[in-house]
Structure formats: C-alpha cells, structure tokens
C-alpha cells in the first residue's frame, strides 16, 4: 500500500490547486463502491498527500488505479492516464512536472487563469478608533500586499465622506491607466452590521455602494479583471457558540455584434463571518481572519488560487477554539464569487 500511495501522490502532486479541488468534487460522484464520503474527503483529503493516502487505504491496489482513471478522464487530464491505464503495476512512466497553467489545447486556446502581469492596485481602509488590535491588522495586511506585489492606497480612520471620496479617487485612477491594470483589491476593516461598515464617527457606508463603484459600468478598467474585496467587520450581533461533536479535531446565442458583460462579474468577496453574526478580533493580536491569512500565507505562499487559499484560511479558523467573555464562540468565513478564471498572486 505504501508503494501505491507514493505513486498516487506523484500523480496528484502534478495537479494545480484548482484541479485538486475539482478532483475531490468528481471523486464524490464516481461510480465505484464503496464511495468516499464527503466527511472523509474533508478530514483526510484536503491535500495531495492526504488524498493519496485516502485513495490507497479506501480502494487498495486493484481498484485505486481504476478510480483514478475515471476521475482524470472527467477532470480532464488525459496526459496523466497512460501510466495508470497501461499497467497499474508499472513504474517506468514519467510524471509531467507540476503546472499552474493549463496548456492551450486543453482549454480551447485560453488559459484558465487571469493575467496578473500588469499593475496590481490595492485600497486598504481601517478604522482604528475603538478597535484594539487594528494596528496589527494594518501591519499584517501591508506585509501581505507587499508580498503579493500590490501598490496600495491607505485610508485610516475616515468619516463617511472621506472614505467615499478616497475610494472615488482610487477608482478613477484605475480608469485613467486602464491598459496597465491587472487587478484590484479592496480591504475594509471596521465595525459593521449586515450590509454596512461603520466609520469612526458611527456613520454607516453601504457595502453594496462600495461594490458598485467597481462594477463593469463604473470601472471599465477592470473589465474581465479580478476585483477582490476583503471585509473585516461584523455583519450583525448574533454569536455562534458552536456545538460539541465527537469527531472535531480542534456560450449562448448573441443577437448583438457588440460583446457584453454582466454589470457585476469577476468579483471575489470574503467576509469574516456569516450574515447577522459578529466577527472576532483580539485586542492584542488583531482580527482572527487577518491573522489566519498571514499564517496560511507563510506556510503556502501564493501558489494557490485565491478561493483555495481562503478555503484553507477558513479551515484554520473553523477548527480553532475562540472565547468571548469566557464563552466559546465559533465563526466561519463566507466567500461570494463571480470569478470566471482562477486568481494566482
């Protein structure tokens, strides 16, 4: 079984993060008994190594190559099939090097990731007033943006007019240098409630109004380019104390010649908690989500698609114990996406 697991790992290591995620989704539905359960995949199959071990243990020598072949055909990664179709016990086939970009012939002459070779622009807003730990959040976000090669605009402790005005200048700046822009990332860290963030004086700003400023109508510079929003703010006052479990380990026809886009597309928004719930921030160490982002990035860097990256961040947050006023409290990040390609920083 160790040799089988090693060979499975060699194949799975070739897959990009998005392909590995798709592999798990296909595996859930593959017609081979006994089927791998979603729980098993969540607990044991989050990494290439863990998934290889799960397949080897679950299907053994004869069935594992058959299952792997079925999944690779649907993925599709036909370049990985010969080693498993010809002779499951042969070890002489060469595994291709790991690639994050799919070859042109596999995806109809278009790459499956956004081109981020141009300028990366970031807007970083933080309300520090009455938010102990916010200084640490700012430093962590600045370090992360530097590592991801973003040019950033800072906006600290603004009032409502100050935020809107500064965001407008930032957005208009993107439109002025349209051809050089690769992507935009907006981080808003403050108090908040459902659908709003609060300024230092308590005034509220609608998140929908902020998102709208960068849509395809108002920001043509970002047509078909990723618009990332990181929101670190409460979304309500509800607190989730969690539950105790036994297994918790801590083309369509176009009548117009002019190509059109939806008003809102290529967005990715991450929230630190579910709707109506509080977000967590330590007075000394800063916000839970921002800290988890930093730790995951230190371990894995920028080799993951942003959705997979924040899935890993969420896994860390969900399986960490937090307390608020000596009561246990749990949070889960929420992702909203209209991305059409993968984002690799």
Query: Is 18 exposed, middle or buried, given 0-12, 13-18 or 19+ CB atoms closer than 10 A?
Result: buried
**Residue 278 structure tokens:** 């509080």
CA distance 283 to 290: 13
**Catalytic residue, candidates 191, 219, 277, 305:** 191
Residue 266's CB: how many other CB atoms inside 10 A?
A: 25
184 catalytic? Reply is: no
Look at residue 204 and give its three-state secondary structure: strand
Query: Is 39 exposed, middle or buried, given 0-12, 13-18 or 19+ CB atoms closer than 10 A?
Result: exposed
**Residue 343 structure tokens:** 């984002």
Among 295, 314, 293, 318, which Cα is nearest to 185's?
A: 293
Cα–Cα distances in Å, from 3 out to 60, 69, 88, 163, 314? 11, 18, 11, 58, 33
CA distance 174 to 182: 10
Give helix then strand counts, H and E, for the chain: 10, 13
219 catalytic? Reply is: no
**Residue 271 structure tokens:** 């929230």
CA distance 32 to 70: 9
Determine the length of the chain. Answer: 345
Torsion, CA 40, CA 42, CA 47, CA 53, rounded to 10:
-10
**Catalytic residue, candidates 58, 234, 277, 305:** 234
Residues belonging to the active site: 191, 234
């Amino acid at each position: 079984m160790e040799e089988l697991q090693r060979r499975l790992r060699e194949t799975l290591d070739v897959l990009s993060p998005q392909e590995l995620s798709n592999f798990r989704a296909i595996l859930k539905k593959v017609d081979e008994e006994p089927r791998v359960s979603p729980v098993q995949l969540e607990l044991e199959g989050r990494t290439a190594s863990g998934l290889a071990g799960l397949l080897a243990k679950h299907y053994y020598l004869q069935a594992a190559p058959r299952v792997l072949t079925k999944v690779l055909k649907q993925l599709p990664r036909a370049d990985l099939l010969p080693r498993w179709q010809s002779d499951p016990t042969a070890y002489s086939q060469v595994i291709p090097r790991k690639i994050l970009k799919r070859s042109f012939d596999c995806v109809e002459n278009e790459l499956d990731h956004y081109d981020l070779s141009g300028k990366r622009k970031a807007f970083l807003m933080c309300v520090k007033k009455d938010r102990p730990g916010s200084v640490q959040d700012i430093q962590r976000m600045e370090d992360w943006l530097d590592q991801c090669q973003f040019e950033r605009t800072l906006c600290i402790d603004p009032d409502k007019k100050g935020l809107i005005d500064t965001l407008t200048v930032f957005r208009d700046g993107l439109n002025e240098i349209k051809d050089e822009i690769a992507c935009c990332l907006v981080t808003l860290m403050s108090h908040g409630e459902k659908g709003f963030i609060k300024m230092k004086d308590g005034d509220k700003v609608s998140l929908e109004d902020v998102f709208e400023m960068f849509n395809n109508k108002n920001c043509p510079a970002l047509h078909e380019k990723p618009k990332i929003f990181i929101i670190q703010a409460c979304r309500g006052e509800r607190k989730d104390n969690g539950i105790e479990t036994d297994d918790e380990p801590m083309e369509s026809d176009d009548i117009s010649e002019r190509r059109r886009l939806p008003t809102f597309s290529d967005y990715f928004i991450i929230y630190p908690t579910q709707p109506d719930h509080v977000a967590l921030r330590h007075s000394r160490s800063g916000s839970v989500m921002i800290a988890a982002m930093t730790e995951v990035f230190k371990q894995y860097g920028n080799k993951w698609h942003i959705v997979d990256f924040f899935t890993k961040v969420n896994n860390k947050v969900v399986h960490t114990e937090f307390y608020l006023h000596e009561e246990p409290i749990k949070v889960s990040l929420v992702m909203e996406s209209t991305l059409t390609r993968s984002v690799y920083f």
